[in-house]
Amino acid sequence: MTQRNSNYDKHPRLRVDTSSSETWVDWRAISDRLKPLTIKNPSLLCVECYPGAFERSIRQALEQGLRPAEVIYTPELFKASKEIDQMLESVLGDDPVFGRMNEITLDKFFDQSKLLRAREKAAAWRDGLLLVVGVGAALVSANPDLLVYADMARWEIQKRQRRNQIANLASENFNEVPSLKYKRAFFVDWRAADRLKKELLSRIDFFLDTNGATPKMVTGQGLRAGLKKASHTPFRVVPYFDPGPWGGHWMEKVCDLPNDTPNHAWCFDCVPEENSLVLGFGEVQIELPAIDLTFFQTRELLGGYIHSRYGAEFPIRFDFLDTMGGGNLSLQVHPRTEYIRQHFGMAYTQDESYYLLDAGDDGSVYLGVRTGVNRDAMLRDLRSAQDGCPSFPAEKYVNKFPARKHDHFLIPAGTIHCSGKNSMVLEISATPYIFTFKLWDWDRLGLNGLPRPIHLDHGIANIAWERDTEWVRRSLIDRIELLGNHNGWTEERTGLHELEFIETRRRWFTKINPNDTEGTVNVLNLVEGREVTVESPTGVFDPLVVHYAETFIVPAAAGSYTIRPSGESEGEKCGTIKAFVRGN
């Protein structure tokens, strides 16, 4: 496909069929809406906040707008930060990247005597308006007169961490390096907050979008209507982009990105744990974490089989790795299932694949060990390189295969791998994306000027040495199987490997072609063609226009759907790659 001017939509939204009168924008309008609901005497307003929200600003705005008789501010009820640090030692450890999954709940962060006194005050409140605000506010008052949830997406949280605007939950680590803040949030803050959020979404009275400088509020009923619609219609989450030490420049043109960073290495365009979802209520757009949809409409979004196996977790991830004009990714390996369960408390691991959206003449993928490799020599050279001795001779030990547009490389956990320079990868994988064991980083520094963490011991323990040159060629590269040749479209199975739980299907088409979720969530990307339209054969959902390189999600409950070339692509050959969890 000849690439024309970008038509990639960086700000997708899903229109909700409810009135914009259910939304309020800025603190004055929000306070004016809440005030009549809090005039009865006594009245208790609970504003639960997600970790990372500017709690103090929320408190100040509501105090000014509502004039409560008294305020209970939950950060004042937490244990001392040193006590919190001690509580988390066994979970966080001293590794700069990895911690351990756990069952810590928000109540563990509270000084129990302070929490008890706050609960007693709330239960006995008899005079005027009591405002309870902050992370864990709903633990102070289980049945308030009015419940508001102040939420935000994790990408915005990460940006605030990088700007040193926020600390971790019940911590004073404002100036700690952002990577350690992220680690603590990933393993502790977000897990604890999500456990409570799952309980509250079905009964909140209002939802507060705190992602931007101007707050926006929607009724809980309106939010739930939007989530219900999203669970029955194809949609896109909001992509975000980030630079990296190996990053390239392909996405700058194709995705129409600003020239404000050294490069663009990653695009996260289907990681519901961290992407946001925008619901349009008239002219007002409400941004919320996409994971809220997974929590509130689990079976409708994922399907019964995935729900029973993985719970309220979105198991498929699509993202871009851009090395066009950049460098090699780190040489790496992902943990095998038994290893990630034993060492990190995760139930499943990151099986993945590289689908090549584009590649230069020298594009390549490193995959598997070379046949006959001397294991001891390879490990010795890895450790020597890490100690600052001669660079690791990667091509002496690891296969390097040429990569061409539309090639598909399968990477079951335990397979040593990385994308080479001048390759544009659509990475299709399972969700535990943080668990990457870097073995070698090509003698370079991170964007912060420091070496990136290497995890040799973890990595070495997981290398599948039997996956040598012949095995990789036979098992992991372009395993294309024609499944059907129809009038105007063909379907191929392209993976993943039998060891992996995700399957991928590629379709080439010039005409409308039928699809069905078959009771499980589908994730697709338009890998060839300028534009297609996704439609319901029976009109049960609104059409979705998808452009080149955009990822979209079709919920299990959507059922039958069609895809056809549209706009500038009418009559042209288009292609999609679809991923789903096999075994349904």
Residue where a domain terminates, one of 456, 475, 494:
475
Q: Is 80 exceeded by the pLDDT of residue 584? A: no
Full DSSP string of 133-147: EETTHHHH-SS-SEE
264, 174: one domain: no
pLDDT recorded at residue 2: 46
Tokens standing for 287? Answer: 């941004």
Q: What is the pLDDT of residue 432?
A: 67
d(CA 547, CA 552): 10
Can you tell me the distance from the alpha carbon of 329 to that of 363, in angstroms, rounded to the nearest whole number?
A: 12
Q: What is the reported pLDDT for 13?
A: 97
E strand intervals along 334-395: 352-359, 364-369
CA dihedral 535, 541, 544, 550 (to 10 degrees): -100
Residues recorded for the chain: 584
Residue 2 lies in a domain: no
Residue 190 lies in a domain: yes
Q: What is the pLDDT of residue 347?
A: 82
Q: Are residues 507 and 446 in the same domain?
A: no
Give pLDDT tens digits for 379-391: 999 999 999 888 9
Top pLDDT among 501 and 122 is at 122
| 21 pLDDT above the threshold of 80 | no
pLDDT digits (tens, 9 = 90+) for 429-485: 987 678 999 999 999 999 999 899 999 999 999 999 999 999 999 999 999 999 999
Region 263-289: mean pLDDT is 95
3-state secondary structure of 188: helix
Q: Which of 177, 197, 230 is the endpoint of a domain?
A: 230
H and E: helices and strands count for the chain: 18, 31
On whether residue 4 sits in a domain, the answer given is no
* Same domain? 497 vs 471: no
- Name which residue leads in pLDDT, 311 or 357: 357
CA distance 386 to 397: 16
Q: Are residues 95 and 154 in the same domain?
A: yes
Tokens of 71: 């305020």
Residue 405, C-beta contacts closer than 8 angstroms, at least 6 positions apart: 356, 357, 358, 359
Residue 106, Cβ density class (10 Å: 0-12 exposed, 13-18 middle, ≥19 buried): buried
In which domain, by residue range, is 209 found? 14-230
Give the residue-averaged pLDDT of 93-111. 96
Same domain (yes/no): 445, 524: no
245-257 pLDDT tens trace:
999 999 999 999 9
> Is 568 found in the same domain as 549?
yes
Q: What is the mean pLDDT of residues 483-496?
A: 94
DSSP 513-555: EEEE-TTS-EEEEEEESSEEEEE-TTS-S--EEEETT-EEEE-
Residue pair 318/523 in contact by the 8 Å Cβ criterion: yes
pLDDT for the residue 1: 41
Residues 162 and 284 in one domain: no
**pLDDT reported for residue 493:** 96
Residue 125 lies in a domain: yes
The answer to whether position 104 is within a domain reads yes
- In contact, 159 and 54? CB cutoff 8 Å: no
Residues 366, 417, single domain; the answer is yes
Classify the C-alpha dihedral 486-492-498-504 as positive or negative. negative
The DSSP annotation for 38-99 comes to: G-SSSEEEEEEE-BTB-HHHHHHHHHHHH--SEEEEGGGGBPPHHHHHHHHHHHHTT-SS--
Cis peptide before 514 (omega within 30 of 0): no
Backbone angles phi, psi at 174, to 5 degrees: -55, -40
pLDDT of 296 > 90? The answer is yes
Strands (E), 290-448: 316-322, 331-333, 352-359, 364-369, 398-402, 408-411, 417-419, 423-430, 437-440
CB-based contacts of 466, cutoff 8 Å, min separation 6: none
Domain assignment of residue 74, yes or no: yes
- The answer for 203, left when phi > 0, alpha when psi is -120 to 50, beta otherwise, is alpha
pLDDT of 219 higher than 50: yes
Kindly report the backbone phi and psi dihedral angles of residue 250, in degrees, each rounded to the nearest multiple of 5, phi listed first.
Answer: -65, -45
Query: Do the strands 206-209 and 146-151 form a parallel or antiparallel pair, or are they unpaired?
Result: parallel
Strand, coil or helix: 402: strand
CATH of the domain at 537: 2.60.120.10
List the structure tokens of 249.
């420049």
Using the structure block, give the residue that is written with the tokens 């099986």: 351
| pLDDT reading at 158 higher than 60 | yes
Q: Which of 549, 557, 485, 530 is nearest to 234 (CA)?
A: 557
What is the residue type of 116?
Answer: L
Cα separation, 26 vs 514, in Å, equals: 45
Residue 322 lies in a domain: yes
- Does 235 reside within a domain? no
User: Looking at the 3D structure of the chain, how many domains does it have?
Assistant: 3
d(CA 145, CA 67): 16
CA of residue 348 relative to chain centroid, distance? 16
For residue 414, count other CB atoms closer than 10 A to its CB.
22
Average pLDDT over residues 76-96: 97
Instruction: Report the pLDDT averaged over residues 482-507.
Output: 92
From 199, 230, 261, the end of a domain falls on 230
Residues 459 and 488 in one domain: no
CATH code where residue 39 lies: 3.40.50.300
Give the rounded percent of residues in the chain with a pLDDT score beyond 70: 98
Predicted local distance difference test score (pLDDT) of residue 498: 81
- Within this chain, do residues 159 and 214 fall inside the same structural domain, yes or no? yes
* Rounded CA separation 336/356 (Å): 24
* pTM for the structure as a whole: 0.96
User: Do both 568 and 431 map to the same domain?
Assistant: no
HSE-up of 306 (CA within 13 Å, CB side)?
28
Same domain, 180 and 328: no
Pick from 68-72, 341-345, 547-551: least confident: 341-345
